Structure 1
Amino acid sequence: MDIVNKKLKKFVDALPIPEILKPLRKYKDESYYKVQMTEFRQKLHRDLRPTRLWGYNGQFPGPVIDVQRGEPTHVKWENKLPDKHFLPIDKSFHNLEKLPEVRTVTHLHGSQSKPESDGYPEAWFTRNFRDTGPQFKNKVYHYPNHQRGATLWYHDHAMGITRLNVYAGLAGMYIIRDEREERLNLPSEEYEIPLIMMDRSFQDNGELFYPSQPDDPQENWPNPSIRPFFIGETNLVNGKIWPYVEVEPRKYRFRILNAANTRTYQLFLDSGQSFYQIGSDGGLMRKTVKLDNLAVEPAERLDVIIDFSKHEGETVTLKNDLGPDADPDDETGDVMQFKVTLPLTSVDRSRIPRYLTRIPSLSENKVQRIRNLKLVGSTDKLGRPLLLLDNKKWMDPVTETPELGSTEIWSMINVTNFTHPIHIHLIQFQIVDRQPFDLNRYNQDGTINFTGPAKPPHPNEKSWKDTVAAPAGQITRVIASFGPFPGDYVWHCHILEHEDYDMMRPMKVIETDKWE
């Protein structure tokens, strides 16, 4: 069936606000949640039939889990999904033909959790835990929540089908709050709104459309065959296509998450207003940064304030800059609308602070190791695109083995021709710099010839991060201290099509006597 050939009217559906999940009870004197992954139908646009989806607790996106720093939580993630997938699975790699078709494992992205609660790709499980992967350890996950207040998110991480499970709807937001944030008098309660952005394509009957092959498949490629990327034809926010939200003429705080498979958003407001970014992946930044546009890679989070006080009665559109060469028929230059039509209910006493928090620089630490890691393009035995980290596949032996408590610099050398958002599990890191080199020269003789000086991170990147944009033809350096737990983790590109095949590597944090 073809993708939708009728144009969907924009800004006709109100923005849903995801509900906050309440704990069921105490478990070992800590909050306990039960979250079920189920199949259901949900109406994503006024003019579309309800769409078949998979989601957490029957919602797309899943409910927000909202916790306090230092208050641990236990979550039992239960798979109640059908045994057959409704999206096209390529079983030609990672021995997927030998595994159950529908497998899930939830990763809390940005969380400092022990390995058995991290959502390791091979810790998957099927409906009612009938089958489990080789790394499966426990049914109930434990999240210490000892880290700084931050916007995290949870999503599926099953080996080889993450792109499909997330596309089907398995994603949601997780917020850790702390006292520092509460003392800043930021917009709060109904004036703090999560914005979970993603793109999707649809069939005429309202069902999700995900291509079964790349755009230019060769005769010897299997069908289905994994794609190197996916870009959808519509933008969704909080599970609605091009929604609107009514706001008061006052300041609002928006926690923005890019939950798309591949798409990077370049956000701006058509009113000419600025964003005031106060936070990033790992929580509050050192100081507020005023920006006219926001670049947000897949899996990145931005915490921003928008002030509507001078726009009473106006409609402000959140736009996505598609660049000068965009297809004129591409409608994804629009994201959502803010209608400043609600009356002011009370005096707005919230603030946009200049200074937010202190972030110690890891550059003062003793660096135990510098790793040079190449992001490379290749082809598999069938001639299909294959993207790798340091020319190694998932199945190759572990090579990244930082010692517990040690500080390392990872230099990511991108010799492909596009940006990769690189995510490292367990830790929050700091970006050191990026330095451009002659990519054409490298492709000719393998020489790294720098074409400019190393540049510090953008002002809104000078904070704790767990996902970094590593642009083409540049060396992106990050510095991190590895902990607080030892064990098996992963690092990977967060373009989900890349992560599934084969741009993900195991990482083992080694416990030694030296750091005790």
Structure 2
Amino acid sequence: MKLRKFIDPLPIMETKKPEKRSRRNSYYEVEMKEFTQKLHRDLPPTRLWGYDGQFPGPTFEVTQGETAHVKWMNQLPERHILPVDTSIHNLASQPIVRTVAHLHGSVTKPESDGYPEAWFTKDFKQTGPLFTRKVYEYPNNQRATALWYHDHAMGITRLNVYAGLVGAYIIRDKKESNMDLPSGEYEIPLLLLDRSFHSNGSLKYPTQPEDASSELPNPSIVPAYLGEAILVNGKVWPYQEIEPRKYRFRVINASNTRTYQLYFDNNHPILQIGSDGGLLRKPIELRSLTLEPAERADIIIDFSQLKGKTLQLKNDLGDGADPEDETHDVMQFRVNKRQNGKDTSKIPNSLSTIKSLKGNQVKAIRKLKLIGSEDKFGRPLLLLDNKKWHDPITEKPRLNTTEIWEFMNVTNFTHPIHLHLVQYQVLDRQPFDLTKFNEDGSMVYTGPATPPLPNERGWKDTIAAPSGQLTRVIAKFSPYTGDYVWHCHILEHEDYDMMRPFKVIKYDED
């Protein structure tokens, strides 16, 4: 349905307050609830699921080294609000409504990582085979950065996230706080999402693929889904009234499938200062910012010369886009507020030091294929290294060792690859002849390896692995042992079956 753009102000999520806090510890309780919320002036209230009954959930703000203890509590109804395909991952034998929170980008022990099979139901009445605890611990012993939290339950992540289970989580440290970057009301998280709606305001999500045969299960998982409207912080195409000064935006792509190519309609520069794992070495000026699902960007926009102007944040849909597709717009900025005092914020030429991992001794090089296949119903089945979730674990990095993981994408589209536990560095990408590989399995490179883009040269936990390219990353697997996962962060792919476990083992383990 058609909705007017730029008629609702941008919401700012409230900051989550702890139940108790000391200098080194804080304790939070978060309830997952069903509720209704107005997402657009002309839409009836939408039934949603959210952390603390909000969409998006409240923003956590913690200090580096402060251990946050979070009790995630499922208070959701027993029936899902979206179509659940029980033909995958043996879901027919499990409760329909299951949740487990994952703090994306967090360096934490496995029992607090949000493992897909560590799910639980309302009031913890039923739990998954790897459920270990009710209260998660996030040490926050990592660089200051913007993370995000979302549901990660096995086989229904796409649905739980689409229903609203997302939120922002910001780690701060003293060094960054002393840099005089825009702060307070001039620092704004922007969670980008896309959704479709029925005329009664309810969420629209397909029950089956468009070309579904009568043999398919109903409901049946779809291989991808792009919503018809763009939401920012839970509002459809909002506007923000701002002062003519510098602002800092913590941009998070929280969409299921959609990649954004963000730019301003007046070609105004975007200054990126940070990526998934915190500040870059130096600011990078861009005219367009690409974010795959789950990627984050820390950016500064200087509106000081735009007093009285209105500009739109756009999304480049590329050549040949459907003229009926309205998702080329994201939000509007109105530089119409009176400036409240002098803008004393600064953008340093040097932001941080990032030690390269290239000098580390590399203990293993893992060659991992991103593969497309079909299941018994003829549905797309996307796999990592041609293995399913329940196949034996094959990636077992040893604690405190460095490895190179090579993602060979032999499918026809880009996959954003996310590793839990670690922040890694991108080494390079190299194109190869995809047609020849699919014909006879031979690897013929069609060009030299190219270094990562300037804004990819910081710490990353999610990276684009383009079709017909070998994408290489390097990571040190520390500081914890145990079970983690790696997967494509297109949630429809992750749910079926583009996710694999990996296990960090002690050095003397087999």
Structures share fold, TM-score greater than 0.5: yes
RMSD, matched Cα:
1.0
State the match for 1:328 in structure 2: 323
Task: Name which of 427, 442, 448 aligns with 2:422.
Answer: 427
Task: Name which of 269, 287, 293 aligns with 2:264.
Answer: 269
Does the alignment pair 1:487 with 2:482? Answer: yes
Deviations 1:11-56 (A, max 9, x none): 0000000000010114896200000000000000000000000000
Within 1, Cα distance between the matches of 2:190 and 2:22?
31
Q: CA deviation at 1:183?
A: 2.0
Please show how residues 153-172 of structure 1 align to structure 2 within 5 Å: 153-172=148-167
**TM-score of the superposed pair, with normalisation by structure 1:** 0.98
Which stretches of structure 1, 4 residues or longer, exceed 3 Å deviation after superposition?
Answer: 26-29
Aligned partners of 1:27 and 1:74 also within 8 Å? no
Deviations 1:417-452 (A, max 9, x none): 000000000000000000001111111111111110
State the match for 1:258 in structure 2: 253
Within 2, Cα distance between the matches of 1:56 and 1:27?
24
Within 2, Cα distance between the matches of 1:362 and 1:266?
29
Task: Name which of 433, 438, 443 aligns with 1:438.
Answer: 433
Please show how residues 317-396 of structure 1 align to structure 2 within 5 Å: 317-396=312-391
Task: Name which of 309, 315, 319 aligns with 2:310.
Answer: 315
SS in structure 2 at match of 1:220: coil
Structure 2 alignment gaps of length 5 or more: none
Aligned partners of 2:144 and 2:173 also within 8 Å? yes
Aligned partners of 1:379 and 1:386 also within 8 Å? yes
Please show how residues 78-117 of structure 1 align to structure 2 within 5 Å: 78-117=73-112
Within 1, Cα distance between the matches of 2:450 and 2:369?
19
Within 2, Cα distance between the matches of 1:503 and 1:356?
36
Within 1, Cα distance between the matches of 2:360 and 2:456?
20
Within 1, Cα distance between the matches of 2:159 and 2:447?
40
Does the alignment pair 1:249 with 2:244? Answer: yes
* AA of the residue aligned to 1:445: D
Structure 1 alignment gaps of length 5 or more: none
SS in structure 1 at match of 2:362: coil
* AA of the residue aligned to 1:94: H
State the match for 1:139 in structure 2: 134
Task: Name which of 497, 504, 509 aligns with 1:509.
Answer: 504
In the comparison of the two structures, how many residue pairs are matched?
A: 509
* AA of the residue aligned to 2:379: R
Within 2, Cα distance between the matches of 1:181 and 1:495?
31
Deviations 1:211-232 (A, max 9, x none): 0001111221111000000000
State the match for 2:69 in structure 1: 74
State the match for 1:226 in structure 2: 221
Aligned partners of 1:125 and 1:132 also within 8 Å? yes
% identity of equivalent residues: 65
Task: Name which of 280, 299, 304 aligns with 2:299.
Answer: 304
* AA of the residue aligned to 1:177: R
Aligned partners of 1:280 and 1:460 also within 8 Å? yes
Q: CA deviation at 1:179?
A: 1.5
SS in structure 1 at match of 2:479: coil
Within 1, Cα distance between the matches of 2:441 and 2:211?
29
State the match for 2:288 in structure 1: 293
Within 2, Cα distance between the matches of 1:445 and 1:354?
50
Does the alignment pair 1:206 with 2:205? Answer: no
Q: CA deviation at 1:337?
A: 0.5
